[in-house]
């Protein structure tokens, strides 16, 4: 099994490498110091398993799993117990708390071997079915079901959405969200707008301009290019 270790702490990274070397039939094909470097190395090395820290500078482990396609199997290794939902969301092999114990790591590696041996869908395919949306701020990753969200919009190179009147930031682009959430009814209304068709209550066309009215009263412009797709999503 080929493994890539991703951890921003040099001591923790070296320790994980030593522990993995002690497990039969495991080859550490590389290490990465942060999520951005990890994306490059996943593409270069195509590992079977990521041994992945979560809280890292530049790009954290949870966001990394959303951006890498195809995504290898993931084993989260973290100093914090607050990210278990994220681990579940990407169907992680296991979730180990630091300091990692050799016996516990060996069990996790056996689980990864079992996944590979039985031909289970890799984490990228499984996570592709996820309808969770992540918003991060102040070191806290909050998760929301996309069905709770009426629209996403782009502003100043950021992706925004609201839940219960609170405006939140999403790391994913509108293009990525559109690809991932189209199957549950999200449709592009405009270059900078993605709407949940299940939350649309009216389609208004006046003087050549079109808008959809969402269930919270928000009016969202629909471009001429997107109008046919929006009508189709609404059954019109």
Cis (ω within 30 of 0) for the bond into 70?
A: yes
**Cβ-Cβ contacts under 8 Å for 68 (sequence gap 6 or more):** 38, 39, 42, 124
**Which fold would CATH assign to domain 2-127?**
Rossmann fold (3.40.50)
pLDDT at 143 (0 to 100)? 82
What H or E segment, with its residue span, contains residue 132?
strand 132-137
Within 13 Å, how many C-alpha atoms sit on residue 91's CB side? 16
What H or E segment, with its residue span, contains residue 152?
strand 151-155
pLDDT tens-place values along the chain, 236 residues long: 999 999 999 999 999 999 999 999 999 999 999 888 999 998 889 899 999 998 888 788 888 888 887 788 999 998 876 655 555 556 788 888 888 999 999 999 998 998 887 655 444 444 445 677 888 877 677 888 888 899 999 998 889 999 988 999 988 888 888 888 888 899 999 999 999 999 999 999 887 789 999 999 999 999 999 999 999 998 88
Beta carbons of 3 and 49 less than 8 angstroms apart: yes
3-state secondary structure of 62: helix
The pTM for the full model equals: 0.52
Strands (E), 35-123: 49-52, 73-78, 94-97
Q: What is each CA distance from 63 to 140, 141, 159, 184, in whole angstroms? A: 12, 10, 14, 21
Strand order in the sheet with 166-170: 166-170, 158-163, 151-155, 193-196, 186-190
pLDDT at 65 (0 to 100)? 85
User: Which burial class, exposed, middle or buried, applies to 208 when counting CB atoms under 10 A from its CB (0-12, 13-18, 19+)?
Assistant: exposed
- The domain ranges of the chain are 2-127, 132-233
CATH fourth-level superfamily of 132-233: LytTr DNA-binding domain (2.40.50.1020)
Q: Quick check: do 2-127 and 132-233 share a fold?
A: no
What does the angle CA 146 – CA 152 – CA 154 come to, to the nearest 5 degrees? 150
Neighbouring-strand partners of residue 236 = none
**Cβ-Cβ contacts under 8 Å for 232 (sequence gap 6 or more):** none
**Longest Cα–Cα distance in the chain:** 71
Rounded CA separation 5/10 (Å): 11
- The token pair that represents 87 in the structure block: 């681990």
């Amino acid at each position: 099994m080929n493994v890539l270790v991703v951890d921003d702490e040099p001591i923790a990274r070296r320790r994980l490498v030593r522990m993995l070397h002690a497990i039969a039939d495991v080859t550490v094909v590389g290490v990465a110091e942060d999520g951005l470097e990890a994306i490059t190395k996943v593409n270069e090395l195509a590992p079977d398993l990521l041994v992945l820290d979560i809280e890292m500078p530049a790009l954290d482990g949870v966001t990394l799993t959303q951006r890498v396609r195809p995504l290898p199997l993931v084993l989260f290794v973290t100093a914090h117990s607050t990210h278990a939902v994220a681990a579940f969301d990407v169907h992680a092999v296991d979730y180990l708390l630091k300091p990692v114990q050799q016996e516990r790591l060996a069990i996790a590696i056996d689980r990864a071997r079992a996944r590979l041996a039985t031909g289970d869908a890799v984490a990228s395919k499984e996570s592709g079915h996820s309808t969770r949306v992540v918003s991060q701020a102040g070191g806290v990753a909050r998760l929301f079901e996309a069905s709770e969200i009426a629209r996403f919009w782009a502003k100043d190179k950021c992706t925004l959405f609201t839940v219960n009147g609170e405006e939140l930031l999403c790391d994913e682009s509108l293009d990525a969200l559109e690809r991932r959430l189209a199957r549950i009814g999200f449709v592009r209304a405009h270059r900078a707008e993605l709407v949940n068709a299940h939350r649309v209550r009216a389609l208004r066309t006046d003087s050549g301009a079109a808008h959809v009215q969402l269930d919270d009263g928000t009016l969202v412009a629909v471009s001429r290019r997107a109008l046919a797709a929006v009508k189709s999503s609404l059954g019109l």
